[in-house]
Structure 1
Amino acid sequence: MKWLNTKYKDGTVSLALLILRVVAGSAMAINHGYKKLTGFSEMAAKGFADPFHIGVKASLGMTVFAEFFCAVFVVLGLLTRLAVIPLMIAMCVALFVAHSGDFFGKGELAGVFLAVFLVLLLVGPGKYSLDKTIGK
């Protein structure tokens, strides 16, 4: 039963990590980060969540940093393991604060993003990344 073989070639795993990075990072940057970046003033005026009590603008600014800029770094595979840390913090806040830990309801997307970013933290970006290119 060759189809049960669990040995993967490095290229296959790296291609899977590339797809994971590009899809998750792009979805985060475009659907969440860019909207917050371009609508910063309106969102701050409406009273964006401030779970760390540092001010609405500071909380929104850190969320924009994570959801847009760090997500772009993830897509590029640049400083990937560092870039996913703010994203994981943002997804924990979204899941456990904004959605009250409702993983199988309204917090499902935040939970899925959290899992993806955790995988990237543990495994790294793969060989098709700027991290690997710069590291040579």
Structure 2
Amino acid sequence: MKKLLSTNYQDWAFHTMMFLMRLTFGGLMLVNHGFQKLVKYPNLQYKFSDPFNIGSQWSLLLVIFAEVFCSILLIAGLFTRLAAIPLVIAMGVAFFLAHNHDFNEGEKAALFFTGFISILLCGAGKASIDSMMGK
């Protein structure tokens, strides 16, 4: 019981949690969102949301970059914090601008936003390429 109520944590638990967060958030983003946008690119390129007035095609390309390529880097634990930045931005835009910070419509974006911020702040953990490279 004493261990259950303790606020201390073991290093292995932290690193395991960061590994699981990278796999879960990166994997779900890649499979459920990134690949879908990549496959449907020809249909989406002219009707995708354009919150920054750079054109719907460029907005879609930036989101695909974040959701596909940055998710792959996140899963591998390579340049983790750098890869998390575009994902945080994409999910922040999705939640705050595209869904007007409405939790009914933007619940997934809010959850991904929170997860990617956690990864950005905490890093990759020991089970990552970043750790093997000594970063």
Q: What runs of 5+ residues in structure 2 fail to find an aligned partner?
A: none
2:15 is equivalent to residue 7 of structure 1:
no
- Identity rate of aligned residues, in percent? 44
User: Residue in 2 aligned with 1:126?
Assistant: 125
CA distance in structure 1 between the partners assigned to 2:131 and 2:54 by the alignment: 36
Instruction: Provide TM-score, normalisation by structure 1.
Output: 0.94
Matches within 5 A, 1:1-136: 1-45=2-46, 47-102=47-102, 104-135=103-134
Q: CA deviation at 1:7?
A: 1.8
Q: CA deviation at 1:65?
A: 0.2
Q: CA deviation at 1:18?
A: 0.4
Which amino acid in structure 1 is aligned with residue 73 of structure 2? F
Instruction: Provide TM-score, normalisation by structure 2.
Output: 0.95
CA distance in structure 1 between the partners assigned to 2:60 and 2:3 by the alignment: 51
| 8 Å Cα contact 2:30/2:72 also seen in 1 | yes
| 8 Å Cα contact 2:51/2:98 also seen in 1 | no
Which amino acid in structure 1 is aligned with residue 79 of structure 2? L
Q: CA deviation at 1:4?
A: 1.4
CA distance in structure 1 between the partners assigned to 2:9 and 2:101 by the alignment: 35
SS at match of 1:105: helix
CA distance in structure 2 between the partners assigned to 1:126 and 1:6 by the alignment: 20
Which amino acid in structure 2 is aligned with residue 11 of structure 1? W
SS at match of 1:6: coil
CA distance in structure 2 between the partners assigned to 1:6 and 1:84 by the alignment: 27
Q: What runs of 5+ residues in structure 1 fail to find an aligned partner?
A: none
| 8 Å Cα contact 2:26/2:74 also seen in 1 | yes
Q: CA deviation at 1:99?
A: 0.6
Q: CA deviation at 1:2?
A: 2.6
Greater shift in the superposed pair: 64-73 or 5-14: 5-14
